Amino acid sequence: MILPVLIFLLVSIAAFGFAIKRYKDIYQAIHLGRPDAGLTHSGQRWKNMILFALGQRKMFTRPIAGILHLFIYLAFILTQIETIEIFADGLLGKHRIFAGKIGIIYPMVINLIEILSVLALIATIVFLARRNLLKLPRFRMSELKGWPFLDANLILIGEIILVISIFMMNGAYQVLQSANPNVYHPAGVFLVSSQTTQIFFQSVSMDWCVFAERFFWWSHYLVILGFIVYLPYSKHLHIFLAFPNSYYSDLNPRGQMSNIPSIENEVRSMLELETKENIPAQESFGAKDINDFSWITILQAFSCTECGRCTSVCPANVTGKKLSPRKIIMDIRDRAEEVVKTNSYSYTENKSAIAITDGKSLFDSISKEELYACTSCNACVEACPVLINPLQPILEMRRYDILMNSAGPQEWLAMFNSLENNQAAWAMSEPRTQWINN
């Protein structure tokens, strides 16, 4: 029994070691962003995390997809109970270590897992069909070509293998617990596997039955380890990051945009209003690269599910323009990964900021045509099931382009000049406040 335990330990340590390195890279990528101001309203933030990450509230705006996703989500959560048992069995060289120790609760839990696994299998097949047979438009857009499209299929196929392994392992165990109860603790009747997969093992030798139970036990565990290693390379990282992302989501009302403090002071002075004190001078406005964003914006990029709900409701995209909010978020994530992978960053002398050193920027992957197509309507923000705000980075990049590059659409220049000269969007022959004196 020592050899199987050693193999189990070595495989587990190798998988976790490989995964931890990747998770560290993601942590570093997220913290390429600048520190965010102190967060308030912790009660509302906990509520958001419970409602939107745990409760998946926004998924049900599209009921069919929401219900199917719920099946997979619940099966994923409850299957971890069986995973804990598998891990304990592997460390101790046992079989079903919890069977017989918690009474009738054990078969109840396993049966619930099996029922949810059937529902998850149905949902997984439907999701595969939507992507590959029905070819829904939001899953066929240019930003999903190549790896993103393959990634979604791979994780769905992995879920199918996981469910099949559960049923085959349980079916074999149903036979073995009757044949050798001293080794295979009686665990009760598993309703689904006893009626489906058990039939495959009733007419084979005990040696083959033992082999099959171990084979699918290992298949189940290796798929789980595969998920742990694979998740940080996949959009399914949102399984974990949706929780902190929803906690740190923007609590401001839709449409409320943050001011640039130093520019706000200039405008106040121009309008002869009281100015704010202790506003630090700024050398740069808006965002050129990921280090100009808050770390929360980069966290949002790694939390993206690539579901495309944001793009499907974007009026600019719907009318044929190049803008896709999903692509903007994916580009931010890819840029952060590129900088960490190539080690193209350094800290300032006092380590208060990060400089990007590869000579590139987000403007190399996000075009001005995309940025200026945005109408700031917040439809993408409202649609996101994990509370990502694609509008924020779009506004920050537009601010950089206009304030630092003196650029922007030609059609906007007349408005800018009028705002500067008349404090109004329209050119007027007299001061904006003249009506007060009339």
When mean pLDDT is compared across 37-46, 84-93, 104-113, 206-215, the lowest value belongs to 37-46
pLDDT at 208: 93
What is the model's pLDDT at position 96? Answer: 87
pLDDT at 435 over 70: no
| Residue 238 belongs to some domain of the structure | yes
Q: Are 225 and 12 in contact (CB under 8 A)?
A: yes
User: Which pLDDT value is given to residue 38?
Assistant: 65
Cα separation, 187 vs 200, whole angstroms: 19
Please give the residue that has the higher pLDDT: either 377 or 268: 377
In a domain, 76, yes or no: yes
pLDDT tens per residue, range 369-424? 999 999 999 999 999 999 999 999 999 999 999 989 888 888 888 888 887 777 77
pLDDT band at 103 (very low <50, low <70, confident <90, very high): confident
- Inside any domain, residue 372: no
Q: Which residues of 393-411 are buried (b: 16+ CB within 10 A; e: fewer)?
A: bbbbbbbbbbbeeeebeee
Mean model confidence pLDDT for the chain: 89
Min mean pLDDT across 5-19, 271-285, 349-363 is at 271-285
Among 180, 212, 247, the domain-final residue is: 247
Residue 127 has pLDDT above 70, yes or no: yes
Among 223, 247, 271, the domain boundary falls at: 247
132-151 pLDDT tens trace: 999 888 998 999 999 999 99
pLDDT band with cut points at 50, 70 and 90 for residue 39: confident
Residue whose token pair is 């929780």: 243
Would you say residue 419 lies in a domain?
A: yes
- Indicate whether 11 belongs to any domain: yes
User: Which sign, positive or negative, has the C-alpha torsion 264, 300, 364, 337?
Assistant: positive
Tell me the per-residue pLDDT of 216-237, one tens digit each, with 9 for 90 and over.
999 999 999 999 999 999 999 9
Which amino acid is present at 349? E
Q: Does residue 169 sit within a domain? A: yes
Q: How far apart are CA 263 and CA 233, in angstroms?
A: 40
Residues 6+ apart with CB under 8 A from 435: none
Total Cβ atoms within 10 A of residue 304: 26
Q: To which residue do tokens 């949902």 refer?
A: 123
244/438: higher pLDDT: 244
* pLDDT (average), residues 187-199: 91
- d(C-alpha 95, C-alpha 86), whole Å: 8
Is the residue at 385 inside a domain? no
Cβ neighbours for 225, distance < 8 A, ≥ 6 positions apart = 11, 12, 15
DSSP state of 34: B
Name the residue range of residue 424's domain.
408-438
The amino acid occupying position 172 is A
- Strands 354-356 and 345-347, by their bridges, are antiparallel
Domain boundary among 247, 263, 281: 247
Query: What is residue 429's predicted lDDT score, i.e. its pLDDT?
Result: 67
The DSSP-derived string for 188-214 is: ---HHHHHTGGGGTTTS-HHHHHHHHH
Quote the number of domains for the chain. 2
Asked whether the predicted pLDDT for residue 178 surpasses 90, the reply is no
Question: Is 382 within a domain?
Answer: no
pLDDT at residue 348, as a whole number:
75
Question: CB atoms < 10 A from the CB of 271, how many?
Answer: 10
